[in-house]
Structure 1
Amino acid sequence: MWILTLLIVILIISAYAFITRNNNYWKQKKVPFEKPTFFFGNYKPVFSGSKHFGLLYSHFYDKFKNAAYVGLYRLWTPDILIRDPELIRNVLVKDFQSFANNDFDLDPKVDPIFASNIFSQTGEVWKKNRAAWTASMTSNKIRNAFEKINERCNVMIDHIKKQIKEKPNEALETKDLSLNFFTDAVVSSVLGLEVNSFVEKDNPYKKVAGSFFAPSFWFGLLTMTFIISPTLAKFLKIRFVPKHIENELVKMARKVYESRKTTGFHKNNSFDSILLHNQSKDNYSPTDLDIAGLIFGFLLDGTETSSGVAGFMLHFIAANPDVQKKLRDEVDQAAEANGGKLDYDTIHSLSYLDMIFSETLRLYPPALTVQRLCTKPYVLPPSDPKGQPFEVPLGMTVIIPIYSLHMDPEHFPEPEKFDPERFNDENKSKIKKFTYLPFGEGPRICIGARFAFNQTKICIANLIKNFEIRLDPKMEGKTLVIDPNFLLVKAVGGLWVTFHNRVEA
């Protein structure tokens, strides 16, 4: 009995020694840090589900105001959070080769869909696919998608008008409304298929776009595992894309590829452009999983991200009547000068709409952080006058706290205030470089940003042209809280507005 007891004691002591072995790491390196808690390190609020990991970083960003960077403990593993914009520039751009990979390690055999996404790829595979994606997002290809996107916008407008007629003053949730539109826009303009998410609530495209990121305890736990310990997630063979969603995507892939046999490939279509680009390399023939992964990439970037931004834009437009009036005046004047039409060039001439878009992204960027792995040894200067140079070891995660930068009053006075004028021509030029990073920066900047910008502007401009948008009474005075169980950015309880025909306003 005493031997078993001894073994248990030895095991406990060994486990404790292993977990706490790095507790003095940042003290020895003379880097500012906050004392970690046992096992959880500095991430206990994320484990408890009380705080989004992106908001957790703001605590350390604000606490160490005079530090260029801060040491963190993710469980028992040291990470580093960069505060200084110049060092952020080095990590993302100047010295990119030392931080070339995102901190997201996936096994293609376990999760082939997400592993095929450019976000998680590395090395030559990433370079090849980045070239294909970059070529697919040219101005001509984005312009080519306009008519299809605009058609789906008209479907949304008809749906809202019907809603106003049958159920006046009934509130709509802005993200869900936007998700319906963006799902249809991407499926139509990119995949070349037709769907109506406003009527077909259970269509597979919306199911993939919406349910993949649906907040839940289990999705929060899954996300936390990938964020806290990608190595553990890989060891446990955890899938980020569930098998049932993978199956739906494979069905879509076959349907899309069959449609191309009839219509042919179009070089000015962004989706086809990537397939054609890859087929031209080494006699490559795409598999069902390759095409499914590509569809997932477009649905991920073109629906979930865009609908989140558009949802917050509609909320702020409704909450700020003066902003809405100024935007409406701009839209009306531009349409009137173009015979009452909002075509591609007219919509892209709306400078105040650009300002609203930029300010919304400042307050609620799609991703609150960027996390990179150190891929080549790199030396940082001392974090503060009491410190010493720090050599970032291979494999260490480097965190860029986007949300914290955007909410820093030194960079953006009164950061909680929604003020589109921060991004007028005069003020925009005064924004310090690398303090505004809604889509990241450098070689790994979000390639789909221009496409998302295009379809979001089409959506908002047409809604403003046709409707007055008001906050639902239950939203009055409500403080928006970011859902901790959502990987990207979503408000707890949703964002609710009512639409009204302008002639009745």
Structure 2
Amino acid sequence: MVAKSKQCRQVVLTIVNIGRTHLHHFLLTCTHNNKLDIMLLIILLFTIIYFAIYYYFKQQFSYWSRRSVPGLEPSLPFGNIAPPWKNIPPTIQYANFYKEFKTRRQKHGGVYLFGKPMYIPVDPDLIRNILVKDFQYFSGRGIHFNAEMQQCFDNLFFLDGPRWKVLRQKLTPTFSSGKMKMMFNTMLDCTKPLRKKLDELADNEEVIDIKDILAKFTTDVIGSCAFGIECNTFETEDSDFRKYGKKVFEENAFKALKMMFAFNYENLAKKLGVTILDKEIEDFFVKISMETYNYRVRNNIKRKDFMQILIELKEVEKNLTMKELISQVFAFFVAGFDTSSATLTFCLFELASNFDIQDRLRQEIFEVLNEYNGEITYEAIHEMKYMEQVINETLRKYPVVAMILRKCSQDYQVPFSNSIIEAGTFTIISAMGLHRDPEHFPNPEKFDPDRFSEANLSKIRAGTYLPFGDGPRICIGVRFGMMQAKICLITLLRNFEFSLNTQTKVPLELDFGFITNAKGGVWLNCQKL
């Protein structure tokens, strides 16, 4: 691939040099007053540029056919992606690529992002190989983050290679069931302001923007469990945690352009000092992390939270740098800020749309809690099997991270063909495509938690359900996210009944940004039980 690119560049340079010779001849022979000569000069210049670009893309767009990988017909200059003015989210485009290759009965395929080849696995066994069995070939994400200029990106999401492996080993015990149990009551305390707020809204018969309510709850949880700070988001609308959390996920054309540029031209982006995170946001998280760390260490204060676990890794085991500590806290905050509230929002939408499912889940909550004297305990939530089915089905129908990105680190022989995926090639797995595939999940638009019942669980084919990824790089915070979702749903359903308000657009229209959300929000009516 590298040799071909060099050859292609050499041909383009040859064309440009030929053009330069002709241009020099024109400049020597034409006069200042001869408008025709000037016009011909301009035409020649644009012709040279056109053919240079055309030849470059022609060579790039033959990449997959030269490797016997099925492809889709690209077009200049965008390749297979839609022009920006069509405003089609990447999530939808890659789900469509998945469907197109599936329709053609292909197990894999190749597309182009501008001139960049992108590999699309379709077959679940191949996907399973990439994420699990042959992980050593696809261990990295290859996301540009400019570690030299930013302090919050030495974390598991962005790191690749040996540094990722070492850090993953350090942090895996942090998310053990024992550590989750330690944080349980800290998380449970955050449900008190949540219930109080819903009591007020129900008493006033107000329509509820459930995403806003749930985002405040998850902000309180993350603030408390990550930093040991009471955010009081329900009382302080413009709390710093909420404000800067929103800013992390704010989307605009300039940010999108920077990310696209950094993705396609990583080395150049590093040289130019292109960064992903705004300095204002980074400064806030660095400051709050340092202040919390210094205060606790100086005053020998200990809490049952994520920050305490990291402090012990750094101070006692000498196993973490300060930059790594800051980066993990930032990653923990970002991972739990919008993803959890989005999942819970979709879950409440489905429960409000399907009263039979809402009633069945509520019944399970009452029955299990009755065995624990009405108390929400760590043991109690793990007995709620239908609760887990409801959350799993929500994540199937609405995967909040709908694409899984991997970068091939060494040449990979595709098992069922003679094709070689070359080192440096990006692979995109469409979780949305898989989760909405009727072959894997019949009647995929139907919300059916029984897909994940004990009787049906074995029918789900490996490599088709990927809400958290899979393999060694599966989301490290799965236990935390599930615990948070269960505690929230128990608090809501044991005290309130929910129904759809007419402000909610049905069918629900999805907004695919970095995180999947509902366009126009989800608006609910809430009644006390």
- TM-score, normalised by the number of residues in structure 1: 0.91
Contact 2:151–2:286 (CA under 8 A) maintained in structure 1? no
Q: Tell me what 2:87 maps to.
A: 50
1:219-246 deviation line (CA, Å, top 9, x unaligned): 4444544556655654553322111101
> What code does the residue aligned with 2:85 have?
S
Partner Cα separation in structure 2 for residue 229 and residue 313 of structure 1: 39
2:267 maps to 1:210: no
Between the two proteins, what is the percent identity of the paired residues? 32
Partner SS for 1:72 = strand
Partner SS for 1:79 = strand
Change (3 A) 1:37 1:233: farther
Change (3 A) 1:261 1:277: closer
Alignment of 1:106-505 (within 5 A): 106-113=145-152, 115-165=153-203, 167-168=204-205, 170-225=206-261, 230=266, 233-234=269-270, 236-261=272-297, 264=300, 266=302, 269-279=305-315, 285-286=321-322, 289-382=323-416, 388-475=417-504, 478-484=506-512, 486-502=513-529
Change (3 A) 1:280 1:372: farther
2:121 maps to 1:94: no
Unaligned runs of 5+ in 1: 383-387
Partner Cα separation in structure 2 for residue 9 and residue 38 of structure 1: 16
Change (3 A) 1:283 1:400: closer
Unaligned runs of 5+ in 2: 1-22, 28-40
> What code does the residue aligned with 1:416 have?
E
Contact 2:226–2:333 (CA under 8 A) maintained in structure 1? no
Partner SS for 1:109 = coil
Partner Cα separation in structure 2 for residue 199 and residue 117 of structure 1: 32
Measured after TM superposition, the shift of residue 379 of structure 1 is 0.7
Measured after TM superposition, the shift of residue 297 of structure 1 is 1.0
Measured after TM superposition, the shift of residue 336 of structure 1 is 2.0
Q: How many residues align?
A: 489
1:361-400 deviation line (CA, Å, top 9, x unaligned): 0011121111111111111145xxxxx5111111001111
Contact 2:411–2:421 (CA under 8 A) maintained in structure 1? yes
1:75-117 deviation line (CA, Å, top 9, x unaligned): 111111001111111111111111110131221123332x312
Partner Cα separation in structure 1 for residue 262 and residue 509 of structure 2: 23
1:314-340 deviation line (CA, Å, top 9, x unaligned): 111111111110011111112222222
Partner Cα separation in structure 2 for residue 416 and residue 452 of structure 1: 24
Partner SS for 1:398 = strand
Partner Cα separation in structure 1 for residue 395 and residue 290 of structure 2: 36
Q: Tell me what 1:79 maps to.
A: 118
Contact 1:148–1:189 (CA under 8 A) maintained in structure 2? yes
- TM-score, normalised by the number of residues in structure 2: 0.87
Partner Cα separation in structure 1 for residue 265 and residue 399 of structure 2: 24
Change (3 A) 1:462 1:284: closer
Contact 1:359–1:420 (CA under 8 A) maintained in structure 2? yes
1:334-372 deviation line (CA, Å, top 9, x unaligned): 222222222221122111110110000001112111111
> What code does the residue aligned with 1:61 have?
Y
Partner SS for 1:241 = coil
Change (3 A) 1:240 1:285: closer
The range that moved more, 172-181 or 349-358, is: 172-181
Change (3 A) 1:471 1:271: same
Higher relative contact order structure (alpha carbons within 8 Å, sequence separation ≥ 6): 1
Contact 1:100–1:374 (CA under 8 A) maintained in structure 2? yes
State the superposition RMSD in angstroms.
Answer: 2.2
Measured after TM superposition, the shift of residue 254 of structure 1 is 2.5
Structure whose CA Rg is larger: 2
Partner SS for 1:70 = strand
Measured after TM superposition, the shift of residue 216 of structure 1 is 4.0
Partner Cα separation in structure 1 for residue 160 and residue 82 of structure 2: 30
Q: Tell me what 2:79 maps to.
A: 41
